[in-house]
Structure 1
Amino acid sequence: MADGEDRSPEDEFQELMRQLFGGQPGAIDPEQLSRLSGLGIDPAMMQQVMRHLQGAFANAPAEGISWDMAKRQALHIANQDGMGITTGERTDLGEAFSLAALWLSEATTVPELTQPPRTLTRGGWVEATLPVWQELAEPVALSIADALTAALDAQVPEEMRAMVQGAGRLMRTVGGSLFAAQLGAVVGRLSTEVVSGGDVGLPVMPAGDAAILPQNFADFGRDLGIADDQLALYLATRELAHARLFRHARWLRLHVISQVTDFARGIHVDTEALEDLASRFDPSQPEELRQALESGALLPQRSEAQTAALARLENLLALIEGWVDVVTEAATTRLPEAHRITEVVRRRRAVGGPAEQALGSLVGLEVRPRRLREAAAMWRAVTDAVGIAGRDALWDYPDLMPSSEDIDDPAALVARLQAHARGDEPQRDAMDDALDALLSQAADDASADSADSGDSGGSGSAGEDSGDPSGDDPAGPRPV
């Protein structure tokens, strides 16, 4: 009797699962697959599924998630048009950047960039920014992968645990890969919307890099009725202001990214929604899973800690974007259509594009600050009160940066800055009083300890030198 003829279809299926989850190399035996018909399984479909899953399992990284799929997906979408950058586009945008740099130097003391701005294709933008998108999204991807592993562990019957002992790693890989592919699709679509490197507000470009995407710039200006040269000058000024700020305040980039990742690490997948989706998931119709990931259906409501973290992040982004707005406004006063362009940019930023909205659902984060107008008003008040240099000096160190309370009450911030400029002592507050009391108490305790130590040491020496056991003779010799 040939090997396998005495096995039931259930035995054949279990053997295939052992091959798959055990990571055994080699092709799946077609004859073995043909005997699965007794289970009502299509052998051809099963062979394809097994090959895909075994390949994914064999190539899975030992730790973390492989982002190659995200990159391939993003570049596939970004490069679909196949269009490059013409010499004329490079020249026109290069001239816009040069003039914008001169205008910007009159509106801010933040120094110029050390490397020239760039013109990027959509694929070039993906290549430049994908490492940051991966860093921001990885906590969510790991959360989804962990949830899939936990769901498998909870649902597998005890008698099948040995058979699927390698499935945990596979499910983690599959979950992470699904998320990575979806992130790649969103970033790819985002590359068709963004006009410049700093367009999304987050520091996704390398520090000190400024760039404009000519193809998206053409789409942005279409039907606005505004001359391309004015649009180019305005957008080049904004992009340079954004890039200059992050190069000057080197701590700022890490500050923003760490706040985003701290928020993302608090995300936990809704396991009930995931299990419900898995119960009706059809591998031949993956659209429902893609929609669930992109819509945010697997992400539960934010916790109180996450809501507070998001508020801090929004205030930080509002401070950055508000400063960029004020500086750009001051630098582009020579443009006849500057006011119209400003309104177009504000409306576009408030609404966001479809891909940006999908990104927000995917990682649970909205990157458009809601307090932008209030932050811009604060920066204008600071500029009027202490001048450009005084305003820009607030970015020199993290502890000088205005707070959310300063956005709410610019007058208090202005009063402090003006008092500092005059050399006045800063106004005391409750924290100053509490700190003084703490330091005073510490000093008193130290004095008391020193006195106790001195009395003990002095008495012993006096009694010993004078021969008086009591050591009470005040006239006795003292140690030198």
Structure 2
Amino acid sequence: MGYVDWEFAKSTGRTLVPAGPVVSPAQARAEVEAIRAAARAARQPVAETARMHTPADAPDALVVDRATWITVNADSMSALLDPAVDAIVGKRGVTPGATAQAIGGKVTGAEAGALLAFMASKVLGQYDIAPGGTPALLLVAPNLVATARELGVDAADFRAWVCMHEETHRVQFTANPWLRDHLVTQARRLAVDLAPDSERIQEIVSRVTERLPEVFSEGGTGITELFATPEQREQLARVTAVMSLLEGHADVVMDDVGPAHIPTVADIRSRFTDRRRGSGAPDRLLRRLLGLEAKMRQYRDGAAFVRGVQEQVGVDGFNAVWTSPETLPLPQEIADPAAWVRRVHA
């Protein structure tokens, strides 16, 4: 029995996730085929725009429902976090008994399942880097249908636009194989370092209680940063900078590809951006608590960084960012693209 019961997380997530939009079996089959075709069609335009290529033998995208997305991501979370949890327990030198592990595994499994259920109704697509497994490009069919309807945009153009973004993520990792291992290593290290020692628990509770209003405020501090040490905040900032790069680059590529292949791309971008801003108060609060508001800033800040670098050194000059861990942007460089250019292209 692990410290997180991932099978219970899967069953909890599948039980809690809302049903998708109502479609007939024929409509569902047609949608799946249309998404697959859009994903295949995205490969060449993305490669030409990003000037990087996914290997020719890369498998087709997987078109999944919400329950399958939960299963895949639970497996990836397990592969990513279980070694970190083992390291945390080993560092503390105290191993919980079998009963405590079983109960704790159910509790943490339920929490993970609830998080996965919330995310499964939001995510449009994902390049799953699958630590310890086989990476895959996932596209969540019911969410593509529901979001296109909600936005009132052309469904075919919206499919193509989302596929451009997710294909960019795939090319980031497949054209630069070192990046996957680097990101997994950094995420595991951060998970271990952020786990508090027992003597710090009371201090953390007091600090979070005192500064909790910051979490609820617009643009507020993420809850993790409330208890992280300065060294941990620096490490978290470095990982966040990489995530900003990945998300911002995907947004830039999807929009640059758009005009030649997606007639209504400007309308889609405008409505999609308004949707990000316009969620209701409970949804915004939950997003803040889960760190998803910070993810929205990653899209914006990362795209500004990519644009800023490309304006100075072009796409090929920007692509030096993928050379090694040392050429990834530092946290302060995300807001100052010229500083990255000076450091890398000096």
Alignment RMSD, CA only? 4.2
User: Of 118, 135, 160, which residue of structure 2 is paired with 1:233?
Assistant: 160
Quickly say closer, same or farther: Cα 1:71–1:143, change in 2 above 3 A. Answer: farther
Moved more, 406-415 or 172-181: 406-415
2:251, 2:299 within 8 Å by CA — same for their partners in 1? Answer: no
* Alignment deviations for residues 229-271 of structure 1 (CA, whole Å, 9 cap, x no partner): 1111100111111111122222222322333333322233785
- 1:253 alignment partner in structure 2: 180
CA distance in 1 between counterparts of 2:339 and 2:230 reads 29
CA distance in 1 between counterparts of 2:61 and 2:321 reads 25
Look up the SS of the partner of 1:222 in the other structure: helix
- 1:54 alignment partner in structure 2: none
2:225, 2:233 within 8 Å by CA — same for their partners in 1? Answer: no
CA distance in 2 between counterparts of 1:384 and 1:336 reads 25
- 1:171 alignment partner in structure 2: 100
- 1:267 alignment partner in structure 2: 195
- 1:101 alignment partner in structure 2: 43
1:190, 1:356 within 8 Å by CA — same for their partners in 2? Answer: no
Higher relative contact order (CA 8 A, sep 6+): 2
The offset of 1:343, in angstroms, is: 3.7
Look up the SS of the partner of 2:233 in the other structure: helix
* Alignment deviations for residues 127-177 of structure 1 (CA, whole Å, 9 cap, x no partner): 22212223455589789999xxx9xxxxxxxxxxxxxxx994422331232
| Residue 90 (structure 1) aligned with residue 60 (structure 2) | no
1:140, 1:267 within 8 Å by CA — same for their partners in 2? Answer: no
CA distance in 2 between counterparts of 1:191 and 1:374 reads 25
User: Of 109, 114, 117, which residue of structure 1 is paired with 2:61?
Assistant: 117
CA distance in 2 between counterparts of 1:128 and 1:68 reads 11
CA distance in 2 between counterparts of 1:416 and 1:260 reads 25
CA distance in 2 between counterparts of 1:138 and 1:357 reads 29
2:17, 2:66 within 8 Å by CA — same for their partners in 1? Answer: yes
Look up the SS of the partner of 1:171 in the other structure: helix
Look up the SS of the partner of 1:111 in the other structure: coil
2:50, 2:315 within 8 Å by CA — same for their partners in 1? Answer: yes
Length-normalised TM-score, structure 1: 0.55
The offset of 1:317, in angstroms, is: 0.8
| Residue 183 (structure 1) aligned with residue 112 (structure 2) | yes
Look up the SS of the partner of 2:38 in the other structure: helix
The offset of 1:116, in angstroms, is: 1.1
CA distance in 2 between counterparts of 1:203 and 1:360 reads 25
* Alignment deviations for residues 187-246 of structure 1 (CA, whole Å, 9 cap, x no partner): 123212211124xxx856966522211111111112322110111110011111111112
User: Of 4, 8, 11, which residue of structure 2 is paired with 1:72?
Assistant: 11
Q: How does 1:297-312 map to 2 (within 5 A)?
A: 301-312=227-238
For residue 267 of structure 1, what is the amino acid of its counterpart?
A
Quickly say closer, same or farther: Cα 1:301–1:88, change in 2 above 3 A. Answer: same
CA distance in 2 between counterparts of 1:180 and 1:374 reads 33
User: Number of residue pairs matched?
Assistant: 317
2:168, 2:253 within 8 Å by CA — same for their partners in 1? Answer: yes
| Identical-pair percentage | 23
- 2:138 alignment partner in structure 1: 211
2:252, 2:307 within 8 Å by CA — same for their partners in 1? Answer: yes
CA distance in 1 between counterparts of 2:31 and 2:313 reads 40
* Alignment deviations for residues 405-438 of structure 1 (CA, whole Å, 9 cap, x no partner): 4323322433566xx5xxxxx4xxxxxxxxxxxx
Structure 2 residue runs without a partner (length 5+): 206-221
Q: How does 1:283-432 map to 2 (within 5 A)?
A: 301-334=227-260, 335-346=262-273, 361=289, 368=295, 370-415=297-342, 426=346
CA distance in 2 between counterparts of 1:172 and 1:349 reads 39
Length-normalised TM-score, structure 2: 0.74
